[in-house]
A = this chain, B = another copy of it.
Amino acid sequence: MQYHLGMADTQPLVAALDQAGYRLTETRRAVAELIAEREGHFTAADLVGEARDRRLGIGRATIFRALDLFADLNVLERLDLPTGEHAYVPCEPAHHHHVVCSRCGRTTEAQDHGLQVVVDDIARRTGFAIETHRLELYGICPACRATPAR
């Protein structure tokens, strides 16, 4: 099968598959392309719809499987929006946090300088042995701030 797609940066996604030893199928490259083209976060349904609209012939299950796979490889993160929706964002594999624009959905990664102190403090107070943490920030991105209302 042949997919007709553009040239967004699928490299990090495809490279992750390769390094982990997964097969580099046409379909996975196509899904990587759909992901790379996205601005801001997107849902599984968004991709399924996009694939359908473009008649790519990629099955729903395949898209879910690819999303799971990329998420496992840490090149895609699944966000739980405050609305309860599940959205995805491509990202760096290293530990980091996301700043999500509540207007346009675009996200940026942020390092948690100084957060370790806070985590340690909470560990001390609660007696928990903290293993992981997740910090999510919501606000208005620079571009949207520059725009009047919306």
Interface residues on A, range: 35 or more
* B114 and A127 contacting across the interface, CB-CB below 8 Å: no
Interface residue? A129 (CB, 8 A): yes
**Smallest beta-carbon distance A64→chain B, Å:** 12
Report the separation of the CA atoms of residues A118 and B133 in the bound assembly, to the nearest whole angstrom. Answer: 14
Q: A113-B121, A121-B114 are in contact. Are A128 and B139 (CB under 8 A)?
A: yes
**Taking CB as reference atom, which chain B residue is nearest A120?**
B114
* B138 and A136 contacting across the interface, CB-CB below 8 Å: no
Measured CB to CB, the residues of A under 8 A from B are: 78, 80, 82, 84, 86, 97, 99, 101-102, 108, 110, 112-115, 117-119, 121-123, 125-142, 145
